[in-house]
Amino acid sequence: MSSVLLTHEDGVAVLTLERPERCNALNDDLLADLNAALERLETPRAVVLRAAGRHFSTGGDVARFAQAVAAGDGRAYAQAVVGGLNRAILQLAALPCPVLAQVQGALTGGALGLVLAADLVVMERSAFVQPFYSVVGFAPDGGWTAMLPARIGEHRAREIQLLNQRITADQALAMGLAQSVSADPADVIAGWLRTLRGHIPGAMAVTKRLTTDLPALKAALDAERAAFVERIETDEVRDGMARFLASLKGA
Residue 63 to residue 127: CA distance in whole angstroms: 23
Taking a C-beta distance cutoff of 8 angstroms, is the pair 13, 44 a contact? yes
Q: Domain map of the chain by residue range?
A: 4-250
Per-residue pLDDT of the chain (251 residues; tens, 9 = 90+): 789 999 998 999 999 999 999 999 999 999 999 999 999 998 999 999 999 999 999 999 999 999 999 999 999 999 999 999 999 999 999 999 999 999 999 999 999 999 999 999 999 999 999 999 999 999 999 999 999 999 999 999 999 999 999 999 999 999 999 999 999 999 999 999 999 999 999 999 999 999 999 999 999 999 999 999 999 999 999 999 999 999 988 65
Query: What is the DSSP-derived secondary structure letter of residue 138?
Result: P
Identify the CATH class of 4-250: alpha beta
Task: Give the DSSP H or E segment for 44.
Answer: none
Query: How many other C-beta atoms lie within 10 A of the C-beta of residue 106?
Result: 23
Radius of gyration of the CA atoms of the chain, in A: 17
The tens digit of pLDDT for each residue in 25-37 reads: 999 999 999 999 9
